[in-house]
């Protein structure tokens, strides 16, 4: 009786091993099939990458302009060698403590982001997040944020685009640096008018009631994550909203940042 039971158990165990083996094979097959169907492409030249582990072709390394020195000590925008702060940060108080953008928002980066956001090249996200962590990971750790908050977009826009790029970056950075991501904490209730013709004060007014903070953030250090920083009004307004909801310190990180 005892022996029959043992045999039965072994039979079940063997069956389990076979089933696990089959499902692992199917999973691997699925990955290979998807890789063949949607091969990873280089975020700079968009050519198919030779292997899955590489996120940019070797010859394209260095094609995005890294901002490693001469940047505003407050917002991270490029400044001349002799300056410490950009014109915006010199002229008014900012809603955030400090922030950094990793690459310059130049034509190559604009095109890369267009493919990532609108033309299905979502695999670029892993490269972007890894570069952010490689170049400003130490700074992020120094800021020591409790949570990452991606800049939200309206539900409608997210549905049309299929994803929120800020959320995608925040999730990948959060995973790499082991920081929790609070994706639904800040929501955008309505679309805002084009910001281009508005001055700084008008921009902030235009955005302010569009954001809503859904949970208490009392006493928290928050790192806002976005893809691009240009005028800074979106991040600044979100920072103000988070501060009004009790956040202690607000920092930000973006993949790229515009020149003055
Ligand atoms: Zn390339
Ligand atoms: Zn600045």
State which residues form the domain around 1.
1-37
Query: Is residue 102 in some structural domain?
Result: yes
Instruction: Tell me the CA–centroid distance for residue 49 and ligand 1, in Å.
Output: 8
Q: Which ligand is nearest to the CA of 43?
A: 1
* pLDDT above 80: residue 199: no
Q: Rounded to whole angstroms, how far apart are CA atoms 72 and 131? A: 20
**Do residues 194 and 124 both lie within one domain?**
yes
Q: Rounded to whole angstroms, how far apart are CA atoms 95 and 236? A: 5
* pLDDT above 60: residue 22: yes
Instruction: Tell me the CA–centroid distance for residue 30 and ligand 1, in Å.
Output: 26
Tell me the mean pLDDT in the region 126-140: 97
Q: Which ligand is nearest to the CA of 42?
A: 1
Tell me the mean pLDDT in the region 81-91: 94
Give the model's confidence band at 35: pLDDT under 50 very low, under 70 low, under 90 confident, else very high: low
Instruction: Tell me the CA–centroid distance for residue 104 and ligand 2, in Å.
Output: 14
Backbone angles phi, psi at 107, to 5 degrees: -60, -40
The token pair that represents 182 in the structure block: 């609070």
Q: Which ligand is nearest to the CA of 60?
A: 1
Q: Which ligand is nearest to the CA of 63?
A: 1
Number of domains in the chain: 2
Give the model's confidence band at 1: pLDDT under 50 very low, under 70 low, under 90 confident, else very high: very low
Q: Which ligand is nearest to the CA of 41?
A: 1
**Do residues 241 and 146 both lie within one domain?**
yes
Instruction: Tell me the CA–centroid distance for residue 236 and ligand 2, in Å.
Output: 12
**Do residues 17 and 75 both lie within one domain?**
no
| Model pLDDT for residues 213-244, shown as the tens digit of each residue | 999 999 999 999 999 999 898 999 999 999 99
């Amino acid at each position: 009786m005892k022996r029959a039971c043992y045999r039965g158990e072994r039979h079940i165990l063997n069956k389990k091993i076979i089933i696990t083996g089959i499902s692992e094979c199917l999973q691997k097959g699925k990955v290979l099939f998807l890789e063949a169907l949607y091969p990873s492409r280089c975020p700079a030249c968009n050519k198919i990458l030779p292997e899955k582990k590489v996120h940019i072709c070797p010859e394209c390394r260095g094609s995005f302009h890294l901002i490693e020195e001469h940047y505003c000590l407050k917002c991270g925008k490029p400044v001349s060698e002799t300056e410490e702060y950009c014109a915006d940060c010199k002229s008014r108080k900012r809603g955030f403590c400090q922030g950094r953008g990793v690459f310059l928002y130049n034509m190559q980066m604009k095109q890369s982001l267009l493919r990532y956001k609108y033309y299905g090249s979502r695999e670029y996200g892993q490269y972007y997040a890894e570069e952010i962590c490689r170049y400003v990971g130490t700074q992020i750790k120094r800021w020591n944020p409790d949570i990452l908050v991606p800049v939200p977009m309206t539900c409608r826009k997210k549905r049309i685009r299929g994803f929120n790029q800020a959320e995608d970056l925040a999730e990948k950075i959060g995973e790499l640096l082991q920081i929790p991501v609070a994706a639904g904490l800040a929501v955008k209730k309505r679309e805002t008018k084009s910001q281009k013709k508005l001055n700084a004060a008008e921009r902030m007014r235009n955005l302010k009631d569009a954001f809503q903070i859904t949970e208490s953030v009392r006493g928290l250090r928050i790192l806002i994550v976005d893809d691009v920083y240009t005028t800074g009004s979106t991040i600044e307004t979100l920072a103000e909203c988070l501060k009004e909801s009790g956040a202690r310190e607000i920092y930000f990180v973006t993949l790229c940042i515009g020149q003055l």
